[in-house]
Chains A and B, each alone.
Chain A
Amino acid sequence: MKLNALTAHEILDLIKDKQTTPQAVLDEVQQHIKQSDKDVHAYVRLAKNSNISDVSVDQNAIPIPIGIKDNICIKGEETTCCSKLLTGFKPPYNATVIEKLKASGAMFVGHTNMDEFAFGSSTENSFYGVTHNPWNLECVPGGSSGGSAAAVAANEAIWAIGSDTGGSIRQPASFCGVVGLKPTYGRVSRYGLIAFASSLDQIGPLTKDVTDSALLLNILAGHDSKDSTSVDQPVPDYTKALTKDVKNLKIGVPKEYFVEGMDAEVKASVMQSIEVLKQCGAQFVDVSLPHTEYAVATYYIIATAEASSNLARFDSVQYGLRQNPAQKRKTTLVDMYEESRSVGFGEEAKRRIMLGTYSLSSGYYDAYYLKGLKVRTLIKNDFDKAFESVDAIITPTSPTTAFKIGARAKNPLDMYLSDIYTISANLSGIPGISIPCGFSKEGLPIGLQILAKPFDEEMLFRIAYTFEQNTEWHKKKVGF
């Protein structure tokens, strides 16, 4: 098998046995991108210098080629959130996760495509055009970390980094047949992640298997004084949680998730997956998350309110695109703000900024924003209560497989509803992982979502690894 089609732990074994070198792996990844990214378009920019790492490759180094979502700052490398507004912006500093990857020896392949400012579930809202799903080029890769998921699926990166505000790592992982993890809120530093919704955003890994997910989280996790919402709690060695043992674990299945709107093939795959874990000794019980139906509405109040506030910083004064109104004789400061933001932001960004501004505005604050925060409490309480009696919860990652490009672009609400199973984890701050669990008749991947208590990523890895070692889904490779 070609080097670029291997997992990181397979590559590390080869390097250790002196059967290959980090440079040979990087060369093969870059060579492959030249052929396949014309079709997939996972990357918006390839790195001029891949060696973000200063360290010489020693025994402990993990020299893995990695794709980085375009909303994570790399010093001197253009970082735009796939927005016209940030075209040309080269951050003067590194995100904390980049510093950590540097220290581990990772090699930077390029910035991956995304919905502008992570606003979307299909990567269709990118200023640089859509990414195609490697399993079927007519379909979306999911979003917003669609480029990262597609890069890993198409063997154009060994690892990729994404960010997840309402499912933006897990849903594209599900659509592209890879493993995607959203850590607990506060587990990974957000410093240098260009903020969408600060109380929901988390950075996380997209990988080819569960072992790689644990390896990469080992690098990313930890407290950071530059992000005061990162939690000062010891980071375990997550690879130690990769045990083939779910005996006597109690796993909940929320009845509210298995309702109208779920694709029959998705449902069948999830049910089969539950059987696999039962065979391995896990016990399944019904749990209730009664406020599930309110999650999408709550999310679109809170996420857009925070986004409108975060995106207020883009005033075209210190960096970013600047545009003065053409027809006016005089241009005031406010005219410049309004014109620059009008030209710089895409349609979905404007829609979300407007919705967020509306729900925060005088007269509507109580009816929308405050109400959203209160329902968020109810949703979080649902999980707290469920986790009193179960170790984990299993659901589909998305109600459907990847949809056709353009199919949901007309009605924004249709697009929002594709995140229905992933959003609650962000509202409650809990960790979640999506792993491949089957394929539709049309050959599109299906994802299984596992959720656990805050800071219990080890439980996710344990269940996911047991499932993976007892199935063959993760071995099915795309024809790239």
Chain B
Amino acid sequence: MISDKDVKYIAGLARIHLEDDQVTHLTKDLEGILHYIEKLNKLDVTQVDPTSHVLPLKNVYREDEVKPSLSQEEVLKFSVEQRDGSFKVPKVIE
């Protein structure tokens, strides 16, 4: 149902590095859980609307006003690396 190859692909989408033994282990775990989830296939839901949220939510608008917010210094304080008032990250483009 789910293969090591699928797990490696999903790990890439989720931006998680996995060692080979972790891939094997996760494949087994996910296979068990997906097998359990298959019980939903007993239900015919073609005529049912999906519920992504229980409240009858509408867009909540507000005036576009400038209000006090965190300073640049406060925001940068928790980053591991920073330079010239910006977050520093490894090279993005080869």
A residues bordering B, Cβ < 8 Å?
88-90, 92-93, 185-186, 199, 225, 228-229, 231, 291, 293-294, 296-298, 300-301, 308, 312, 315-322, 324-325, 330-339, 341-342, 345, 350-351, 353-355, 357-358, 361, 368, 370-378, 380, 411-413, 416, 427-429, 454
Contacts and interface: CB of A to CB of B under 8 A. Distances in A.
Contacts of B34: 355, 358
A90 B92 CA distance: 28
Interface in B45-68: 45, 48-55, 57, 60, 62
Given A350-B26, A413-B32, A318 B51 contact: no
A351 B32 CA distance: 12
Contacts of A372: 40
B78 to A, nearest CB: 4
Nearest to B80: A322
Nearest to B55: A186
Contacts of A199: 52-54
Given A354-B30, A429-B54, A301 B16 contact: no
**Which of B13, B51, B70, B77 has most A Cβ within 10 Å?**
B51
Nearest to B12: A338
Interface string B1-19: 0100011001101111110
Contact of A353 (B14, B48, B53): B14
A316 B60 CA distance: 31
Contacts of B74: 92
**Which of B16, B34, B80, B89 has most A Cβ within 10 Å?**
B16
A90 B37 CA distance: 38
B90 to A, nearest CB: 5
A355 B33 CA distance: 9
Given A316-B80, A380-B51, A325 B17 contact: yes
A453 B37 CA distance: 28
Given A338-B17, A373-B50, 13 more contacts: A301-B37, A312-B14, A350-B22, A353-B14, A357-B13, A358-B2, A358-B30, A361-B10, A371-B40, A377-B49, A413-B33, A416-B33, A454-B54
B interface, over-half SS: loop
Contact of B30 (A325, A345, A355): A355
A320 B36 CA distance: 34
B53 to A, nearest CB: 5
Contacts of A320: 78
B91 interface: yes
A92 B75 contact: yes
A224 B45 CA distance: 36
Contacts of B21: none
Nearest to A88: B78
A357 B14 contact: yes
Contact of B33 (A300, A335, A429): A300
B21 to A, nearest CB: 12
B15 A334 contact: yes
Nearest to B91: A332
Contacts of A185: 54-55
A336 B87 CA distance: 14
Given A225-B62, A317-B79, A318-B78, A342 B16 contact: yes
Nearest to B9: A361
A326 to B, nearest CB: 11
Contacts of B92: 332-333
Nearest to A302: B52
A446 B90 CA distance: 53
B16 A370 contact: no
B82 to A, nearest CB: 10
Contacts of A354: 7, 10-11, 14, 16, 26, 30
Contacts of A89: 78
B54 A361 contact: no
Nearest to B59: A228
A357 B70 CA distance: 32
Contacts of B32: 411-413
A370 B43 CA distance: 13
Contacts of A429: 54-55
Contacts of B48: 374-375, 377-378
B94 interface: yes
B34 to A, nearest CB: 8
